[in-house]
Amino acid sequence: MTFRRNFVAAAVAVVALSASFGAMAQKMVLKAVDNQPAGYPTVVAVENMGKKLDAATKGRITLKMYPGAVLGQEKEAVEQVQIGALQIARISLGVVGPVAPDVNVFNMPFVFRDIPHMRAVIDGPIGAELLQKITDSPARLVALGWMDSGARNLYTKKLVKTPADLKGIKVRMQGNPLFVDTMNAMGGNGISMAYGEVFSALQTGVIDGAENNVPSLYTSNHFTTGTKYYAQTNHFIIPELLVMSKVTWDKLSADDKALIKKLSREAQMEERVLWDKSVADYTVKLKAAGVEFVPVDQKLFFDATAPVRAKYGADFTDLMKRIDATKSN
């Protein structure tokens, strides 16, 4: 009997130890990256998502945020996510456009009437369909949700009010041919350049301006380089993506996948509240710093970019009709 009791006790101990090692093996730290600084709406939204994930899994899955491009600019970050060295990233559509062409419908100039229209589209069936297409593409990324990045406008050292004013002006654009073509159509000289290189390029005169949203103009300090004119073209209203490495995704249980998708949707909604507040706050700060918000006739720029929509929108005719038919919230 003593032998049997000892055997049973030993067996129970082995099972308990195995369970303990199994639990330890299941622990996962998700490294998340963003090229924007700490405190930026997209960064905070993902950090909040991580807190919820930690609570829901009782510490089994945690998230560590690395903002400010400390682990590489967007291109390098995406490459690391694709191989599973990093797990989550907030990225622009320009990165996935070449491998998931359907998302280029969002990249086109003036495809959305305004920000409420854009939000209605990404929150609805069109947004869900495009997330799935990215996930199904060769990009090796799982598209978790959308992030609001507001409207992109021109900031230049010279006053710009019409497409004619852009003649000869070199403007930094993201490295998607569609974006460069858009700037060229608007009258400027589109220059493809990594985000991290823009500040010095503005300082040294390699470029004469760039285009981005209000929070990015302030947090990047680009407004300190003499680009004091911010033309309200609203030429792009492009949502951004929250993506996860497919390598990591495939290791998750069905329940964990469902949880991450749920929390990603919540992050999508929370981020826009943070975004709207940041736009209001940074607008005040930029104006106080001497940046002039210049009203323009947007129809002039809309008409000028018609060839871009014709060229890049040929494959999205039906989708563009659906977007146009979507009612704003």
The DSSP line for 227-273 is --EEEEEEEE---EEEEEEHHHHTTS-HHHHHHHHHHHHHHHHHHHH
158 and 251 in a common domain = no
pLDDT at 93: 85
173 and 86 in a common domain = no
**Which residue in this structure is represented by tokens 């309200």?**
232
- Asked if residues 74 and 240 have their Cβ atoms less than 8 Å apart, the reply is no
Q: Quick one: which of 93, 158, 177 has its CA closest to 130? A: 93
98 and 32 in a common domain = yes
Count structural domains, the chain: 2
305 and 232 in a common domain = yes
266 and 175 in a common domain = no
64 and 11 in a common domain = yes
CA distance 87 to 269: 21
Q: Which residues of the chain have pLDDT under 50?
A: 1-25
230 and 288 in a common domain = yes
CA distance 62 to 173: 35
pLDDT at 26: 73
Look up residue 258 and give its two tokens: 């469902």
* Beta strands, E only, the chain: 28-33, 61-66, 88-91, 141-147, 152-156, 170-173, 189-192, 209-212, 229-236, 240-245, 292-294
pLDDT at 73: 85
213 and 91 in a common domain = no
How many other CB atoms are found less than 10 A from the CB of residue 25? 8
CA angle 266–268–270, rounded 5-degree value: 70
Domain extent for 39: 2-149+239-280
Look up residue 273 and give its two tokens: 């509240």
86 and 219 in a common domain = no
229 and 107 in a common domain = no
pLDDT at 24: 43
pLDDT at 206: 97
Alpha-carbon distances, residue 193 vs 50, 234, 285 (angstroms)? 32, 20, 26
pLDDT at 17: 38
pLDDT at 107: 87
222 and 166 in a common domain = yes
What CATH number corresponds to the domain at position 133? Answer: 3.40.190.170
pLDDT at 11: 41
